[in-house]
Amino acid sequence: MKKIELLAPAGDLEKLKIDVLYGADAVYIGGKAFSLRAGATNFTKEDMIEGVKFAHEHGVKVHVTFNIYPNDGDEKKIDEYLLELDEIGVDAIIVSSLYVINRAKALGVHYELHSSTQESTTSSYAVNFWAKQGCARAVLGREATLEEIKRIREKTKTDIEVFIHGAMCCSVSGRCTLSNYYTKRDANKGACSHPCRWTYSLYRNDKKVTDEFLLGSKDLMTVDYIKDLIEIGVSSLKIEGRMKSVNYLAHVVKTYRKLIDDIYDNKVKGYEEYENEIAQSGNRSFTKAWIKGYTDHNDLIYSFSNTPLQNYLGMILDYDKEKHMCLLQAKNPFNVGDVIELVSFKKDVRSFIVTKLIDEKGNDVQSANNPFFTYWVEIPYEVEKYEILRKTI
């Protein structure tokens, strides 16, 4: 049986490398045009060439988002971009527009076409429709329940991709128009201003009920449904977050990688360890949303009660093997004597006590308390660039 794919988001070249090193089987990225995350850094052609090369050297596939709805006048640019992606050697594009699908087929590109979650695909009829248009895979809408995913799998031979983790739209898979209405920033052009994260005053019969009415959803987290999705025969498990931090990506990708491998190796005893590790990513509170079936406002909507974690100390930039020192760009303060943890690519989390700190001027110091300054940290383990140090919580 072919092992299920873990698909991770990359908003820039550094994040792509984090995804690859921490265990993704495939990554999805956006170019400077035709991508629904305008707020992400996104990839220039040169970045994309380097990213594809790096990913392919590690046996990882690259999918490119091409999921906006084009306007008149985009025809020439669309053809040029489709051919450019083919030249670069990407493995798939994620599309919403039938026009883009037809142009890709007419141009004879070699990569796969995957229908986007923007199409809110939640039935086998829709999956089979996209297959007839030439899509090798359908990305399901987040509104599909586990039972619906199972029925879809039984009624179609097309690969299906399911979101398992990350932010969710307050509307139906990205069809919200609030951003365009309030700020003239079109969510379907990649420029969503996230008005669902704003606070609203709620009135009933002209009487104010509250000043803290929220629309934004908690983040999706489906650790205890991964085995079900594997057994159903889902092809790919997708993490949301092209605009998320490297710390977030490292923790989430590494944890789902371990969970998937442990499921195939029959090593899973329970889900608490995986949930605790994901909690280290320091994001909003979580919901299982629709995958478990019916959900409601209390289960979905987040509150401002979340306190941001400050456990992320930084990503390793360099390592001096002779001196047993690693170079760290500090993100949060820590001191000599603190117990901190090393998050590595392949190994379990290891802890150690900070015994020596050297600042940018070469001075021994007791505290790394200047965010974004670099410090040399004595460490008892051999480490690599892109590994992470964090405080224990």
pLDDT in tens, 1-28: 689 999 999 999 999 999 999 999 999 9
CA distance 85 to 2: 27
**CATH code for the domain of 272:** 3.20.20.70
Contact (Cβ atoms closer than 8 angstroms) between residue 41 and residue 271: no
CA distance 77 to 33: 9
pLDDT in tens, 348-393: 999 999 999 999 999 999 999 988 799 999 999 999 999 999 998 7
Cα 41–182–168 angle (5° rounding)? 55
The answer to whether position 196 is within a domain reads no
In this structure, the answer to whether residues 365 and 330 fall within a common structural domain is yes
Q: Which two tokens stand for residue 304?
A: 């401002």
The answer to whether position 167 is within a domain reads yes
Q: What is the pLDDT of residue 70?
A: 82
In this structure, the answer to whether residues 131 and 251 fall within a common structural domain is yes
In this structure, the answer to whether residues 227 and 88 fall within a common structural domain is yes
CA distance 334 to 122: 47
The answer to whether position 363 is within a domain reads yes
HSE-CB for 364 with a 13 A CA cutoff: 5
Q: For residue 304, name the pLDDT band (cuts at 50, 70, 90).
A: low
The answer to whether position 189 is within a domain reads no
In this structure, the answer to whether residues 340 and 269 fall within a common structural domain is no
In this structure, the answer to whether residues 286 and 368 fall within a common structural domain is no
Please state the pTM of the whole predicted model: 0.92
CA distance 393 to 391: 6
In this structure, the answer to whether residues 11 and 84 fall within a common structural domain is yes
Q: What is the pLDDT of residue 306?
A: 59
The answer to whether position 37 is within a domain reads yes
Q: How many domains would you assign to the chain?
A: 2
Taking Cα atoms as reference points, which of 138, 57, 46, 37 lies closest to residue 92?
A: 138
Sort strands 357-358 and 364-365 into parallel, antiparallel or unpaired: antiparallel
Q: What is the pLDDT of residue 153?
A: 97
In this structure, the answer to whether residues 175 and 269 fall within a common structural domain is yes
Q: What is the pLDDT of residue 307?
A: 61
Q: What is the pLDDT of residue 216?
A: 85
Confidence check: pLDDT of 295 > 90: no
In this structure, the answer to whether residues 358 and 325 fall within a common structural domain is yes
CA distance 363 to 67: 51
Which residue stretches of 280-348 are H helix?
A: 297-300
Looking at 245, 267, 300, which one is the last position of a domain?
Answer: 300
Q: What is the pLDDT of residue 189?
A: 63
List 301's β-bridge partners, or say none: 217
- Tokens 């605009």, residue? 243
Which range, 69-78, 229-238, 286-295, is most confident?
Answer: 229-238
pLDDT in tens, 212-271: 888 888 899 999 999 999 999 999 999 998 888 999 999 999 999 999 999 999 999 999
CA distance 69 to 301: 29
> Between the CA of residue 83 and those of 87, 100, 314, what are the distances in Å?
6, 12, 39
CA distance 29 to 124: 27
Q: Which domain holds residue 332?
A: 312-391
In this structure, the answer to whether residues 228 and 109 fall within a common structural domain is yes
- Tokens 């051999």, residue? 382
Which range has the worst mean pLDDT, 31-40, 189-198, 200-209? 31-40
Contact (Cβ atoms closer than 8 angstroms) between residue 315 and residue 246: yes
Please provide the average confidence, as pLDDT, over all residues in the chain: 91
